[in-house]
């Protein structure tokens, strides 16, 4: 699918990053915002980033921001460092799964009929991301002396639905905002420059 020159511009891509960064900051750093019941936008943010920003530097920048938020939360704001183990590195493939799914979704036509496929992409990528992050923590984090699949399965079943709902909700909000943007600025539509 042809990308419009406006979508490919560095300015537009920086704008996307500038929108995602504070949203992630507000929902990821509960100690800073005290919004504990607001689900994190992290997974959806990487999906949205992949949809709009194809450059690996964008992925690295958003991952660096997520890491910085976590470090400041733990070292300055008093958030528990229980989850900060060598398995933290598993967030790289977790977020990469979301980013790559967003990149794939960017090839779909921008119309209502593509939404179910996008929802499946978000859902599938969320499964992979949660297996990487939660599974990485459980099996590689060193917090559980004898990890087994039998013990991991109920943990996955307990925490995955929340991650899935957050991913689908935030990605849906992003899709709705993008649809509103396209109605006001049809020149941003993919293929508009053909």
Do the Cβ atoms of 77 and 29 come closer than 8 Å? yes
pLDDT at 17: 87
With beta carbons less than 8 A apart as the criterion, state whether 66 and 24 touch: yes
What's the pLDDT score for residue 142? Answer: 76
Check residue 37 and give its pLDDT.
53
> What pLDDT does residue 81 have?
63
pLDDT tens-place values along the chain, 194 residues long: 455 555 667 888 888 988 998 888 877 755 444 555 567 888 999 999 999 998 899 999 999 998 888 888 777 766 666 666 788 889 999 999 999 999 999 999 988 899 999 999 999 999 999 999 989 888 888 778 888 999 999 999 998 999 999 999 999 999 999 999 988 988 887 765 43
Question: Could you give the CA distance from residue 104 to residue 45 in angstroms, rounded to a whole number?
Answer: 15
């Amino acid at each position: 699918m042809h990308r419009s020159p406006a979508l490919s511009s560095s300015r537009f891509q920086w704008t996307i990053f500038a929108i995602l960064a504070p949203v992630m900051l507000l929902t990821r750093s509960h100690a800073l915002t005290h919004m504990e019941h607001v689900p994190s936008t992290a997974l959806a943010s990487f999906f949205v980033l992949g949809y709009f920003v194809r450059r690996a530097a964008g992925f690295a920048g958003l991952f660096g921001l997520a890491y910085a938020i976590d470090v400041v939360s733990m070292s300055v704001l008093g958030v528990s460092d229980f989850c900060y183990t060598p398995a933290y590195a598993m967030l790289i493939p977790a977020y990469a799964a979301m980013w790559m799914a967003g990149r794939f979704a960017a090839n779909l036509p921008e119309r209502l009929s593509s939404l179910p496929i996008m929802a499946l992409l978000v859902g599938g990528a969320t499964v992979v991301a949660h297996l990487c992050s939660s599974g990485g923590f459980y099996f590689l984090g060193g917090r559980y002396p004898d990890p087994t699949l039998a013990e991991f399965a109920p943990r996955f079943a307990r925490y995955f639905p929340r991650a899935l709902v957050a991913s689908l909700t935030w990605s849906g909000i992003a899709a709705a905002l993008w649809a509103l943007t396209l109605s006001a600025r049809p020149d941003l539509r993919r293929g508009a420059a053909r």
